[in-house]
Amino acid sequence: MGGGTGREERGESMDFALSEEERSIRAAIRDLAEREFAPRAAEYDRTGEFPWDNVRLLAEGGYLGMTVPPRYGGAGASFLAFILCMEEVARACAVTSVIFEVHNSLHIEPILRFGSEEQRERFLPPLVRGERLGAFCLTEPSSGSDAAAMETRAVEVAGGFRLRGQKSFITNGGQAHEYLVFARTGDDPGRRAVTAFLVPRDSPGLSFGPPEAKMGLTASHTTQVYLDDVFVPADRLLGERDHGMRVALATLDAGRVGIAAQAVGIAQAALDTAARYALERRQFGRPIAEHEGVQWILAEMAADLEAARWLVYRAAWLQGQGIRATEEIAKAKLFASTMANVHVPRALRVLGGYGFLKDHPMERYVRDVKVTEIYEGTSEVMKMLIARGLMERTRQGTGAG
Ligand SMILES: Cc1cc2nc3c(=O)[nH]c(=O)nc-3n(C[C@H](O)[C@H](O)[C@H](O)COP(=O)(O)OP(=O)(O)OC[C@H]3O[C@@H](n4cnc5c(N)ncnc54)[C@H](O)[C@@H]3O)c2cc1C
């Protein structure tokens, strides 16, 4: 496995059981998502309105910042429990799942991991209570996959830093109260001197573009973020100065497990919909579920979905153990997002012409699932990460597997 360490060290035991707590958390959020999120998903998709009522329900249920230890107000749940929740929320409403993911994985997790004790005590409780929503600002107009090539700059001044630049594609943009912003703090590009800052929405000089018009996830607002000489006090610097890329990359590792779970959740929703329809719809004198061609579509999807789910759970388990699992996570995200983008459009075909109508959620699943191959690292970037580990092990003679 990845990193050249032994298989035993990387937790290759065969215990597939979820804990009692994980099972009960999953049952509770499944109930919430089916009751509250699923019935409203089509309407949010149509209007593009930000689903604040769903965010509030997640806060009331204790799901925002659910992995945060109780001393900062969280439930202290396992990372795997969070991933199970991502899957269930995505199955009901992909929009709500990406808001949940960015808040928990891309904003709260880095504060937990890289924040000082003072920062954790100050920033985490209102994020866990849902009084403040978080965002993550790495991508820029001219730097996406090559994030370290960012142009946003932070210049040190008395008492803090002044930030200038532009961030693109920011989920929760304009809606979030807190922005984790990455900015260049050195001139030497080889050193990748980047620093992470926690920037509140009401900072003078911080502004937002309108929500981008997207093919899917329409109600998860994605905006440009403009930083025009924004002053950030020194006590809002997260982690070490000039080591912000470490914060970004470690954060994205955790985040990618969430996106992989999102792909699994959307694919499960598509499979559920197609299987139900196949039992109801009759052609040639019998339910289409009795035609072998339809059964094969569903069976192949079910098998690949199950494989993706276990890759995702394993990546989540490794991440939760604090084991660096960049490569396993990349494999899980690559496989799950590819699987979902192959099978969800096939599931739509089971509905025939009805799959093309907005009366059914299937066309929304096809649109929403596309971006799982793109954000938090494209499939090509996932392949780069997998190949890097594989080549390293081959060079060391420890085997490519
Ligand atoms: C809905 C949505 C929400 C998002 N939310 C956020 C957010 O909250 N915060 C944030 O910071 N960003 C966010 N992003 C940005 C997202 O992470 C980037 O779009 C993604 O990382 C790809 O960057 P890019 O779009 O600039 O594409 P590019 O990096 O320009 O890539 C274009 C194409 O080239 C390929 N490519 C690039 N480099 C290589 C290489 N070395 N080898 C092979 N192929 C390569 C890519 O795989 C892709 O196919 C979001 C994007 C979307 C669509």
pLDDT in tens, 191-242: 579 999 999 999 999 999 999 999 999 999 999 999 999 999 999 999 999 9
* pLDDT score, position 2: 40
344 alpha carbon – ligand 1 mean position (Å): 22
Q: Which residues lie across from 180 on neighbouring strands?
A: 136, 198
* pLDDT score, position 189: 61
222 lines ligand 1 (CB under 6 A): yes
pLDDT at 15 over 90: no
* pLDDT score, position 187: 77
Query: Rounded mean pLDDT of 345-362?
Result: 97
Over the stretch 255-312, which tens digit does the pLDDT of each residue have? 999 999 999 999 999 999 999 999 999 999 999 999 999 999 999 999 999 999 999 9
Over the stretch 159-195, which tens digit does the pLDDT of each residue have? 999 999 999 999 999 999 999 999 999 876 655 799 9
Domain residue spans in the chain?
2-133, 136-242, 246-396
Separation CA 190–CA 79 (nearest Å): 34
CATH number of 2-133: 1.10.540.10
Element (H, E) at 304: helix 292-320
Q: Give the least confident one: 6-15, 325-334, 378-387.
A: 6-15
Of 43, 376, 380, 392, the active-site residue reads: 376
Separation CA 249–CA 377 (nearest Å): 10
Say which CATH topology domain 136-242 has: Butyryl-CoA Dehydrogenase, subunit A; domain 2 (2.40.110)
144 lines ligand 1 (CB under 6 A): yes
pLDDT at 132 over 60: yes
Pull the structure tokens for residue 41: 């998903």
pLDDT at 16 over 90: no
394 lines ligand 1 (CB under 6 A): no
Ligand 1: atom nearest CA of 172 is 8
Separation CA 337–CA 264 (nearest Å): 8
321 lines ligand 1 (CB under 6 A): no
Separation CA 33–CA 50 (nearest Å): 17
Provide φ and ψ at 238, rounded to 5°.
Answer: -105, 125
375 alpha carbon – ligand 1 mean position (Å): 6
- 67: pLDDT confidence band, cut at 50, 70 and 90? very high
| Percent over 90 (pLDDT), the chain | 92
Q: Which residues contact 361 (CB under 8 A, 6 or more apart)?
A: 41, 42, 269, 273
* pLDDT score, position 186: 86
Question: pTM higher than 0.85, yes or no?
Answer: yes
- Ligand 1 binding pocket mutation candidate from 109, 139, 181 (most atoms within 8 A of CB): 139
Query: Rounded mean pLDDT of 362-369?
Result: 98
Separation CA 363–CA 358 (nearest Å): 7
Pull the structure tokens for residue 9: 């060290």
Q: Pick the residue whose CA is nearest to atom 24 on ligand 1.
A: 144
Nearest residue to 298 via CA among 287, 314, 283: 287
* pLDDT score, position 397: 85
CATH number of 246-396: 1.20.140.10
Query: Rounded mean pLDDT of 127-137?
Result: 98
* pLDDT score, position 4: 42
| Helix pair angle (94-101, 362-369), 10° resolution | 30
Over the stretch 108-127, which tens digit does the pLDDT of each residue have? 999 999 999 999 999 999 99
- 5: pLDDT confidence band, cut at 50, 70 and 90? very low
* pLDDT score, position 93: 98
- Residue identified by tokens 């050193």 is 191
DSSP state of 78: -
* pLDDT score, position 10: 59
* pLDDT score, position 12: 63
252 lines ligand 1 (CB under 6 A): no
The yes-or-no answer on residue 101 being catalytic is no
Average pLDDT value over all residues in the chain = 95
* pLDDT score, position 399: 73
Separation CA 358–CA 225 (nearest Å): 32
Separation CA 205–CA 209 (nearest Å): 13
Q: Give the least confident one: 4-8, 23-27, 88-92.
A: 4-8
371 lines ligand 1 (CB under 6 A): yes
* pLDDT score, position 191: 58
pLDDT at 98 over 70: yes
Pull the structure tokens for residue 205: 């000089």
